[in-house]
Amino acid sequence: MVELRKDVEFTGPVVTGFTPHGYKIGDRRFEQGLLISPEQALDWTASGVDRLDLVAILSRLNLSPPPEFLLLGSGLSMQQPPASFRREVEAAGMGLEVMDSRAAARTWGVLRAEERWIVGAFLPLA
């Protein structure tokens, strides 16, 4: 298991490490996937990058005001979501950043240290 060091104070959840398939936030493990906002972290079972559902992601996180952008962790490697999903994110007035899930989890901490108002959807690591 990999542990991430926390050098700054965060408001809200931050990924503190990885498990073989998922993520750790403090002592909690998220093995299937992770939805994360400045206010909460939730287990997420996603069928893959080709079957993403923005409405379901945003309704589970229920963030107000709406986030600046969605940080998408696409699994072990970077995979772009379908164009229809990218258009849906844009129509919702958000940006979309896509990277592999480990990079997305590390980037989450950097962006939250900057107090960015974002949400993350990280697919499992296996």
Give the total number of structural domains in the chain: 1
Q: Which domain holds residue 57?
A: 2-122
Tokens of 53: 């559902």
CATH number at residue 47: 3.40.1230.10
pTM of structure: 0.90
**Is the pLDDT at 42 greater than 80, yes or no?**
yes
Q: State the pLDDT at residue 46.
A: 85
Please provide residue 35's backbone torsions phi and psi, each rounded to the nearest 5 degrees: -105, 130
Question: Is residue 39 within 8 Å of 12, Cβ to Cβ?
Answer: yes
Angle at 38 between CA 52 and CA 40, to 5 degrees: 70
DSSP 111: H
Q: pLDDT tens for residues 29-41?
A: 999 999 999 999 9
Tokens of 83: 């164009």
**Rounded Cα–Cα distance for residues 95 and 84 (Å):** 14
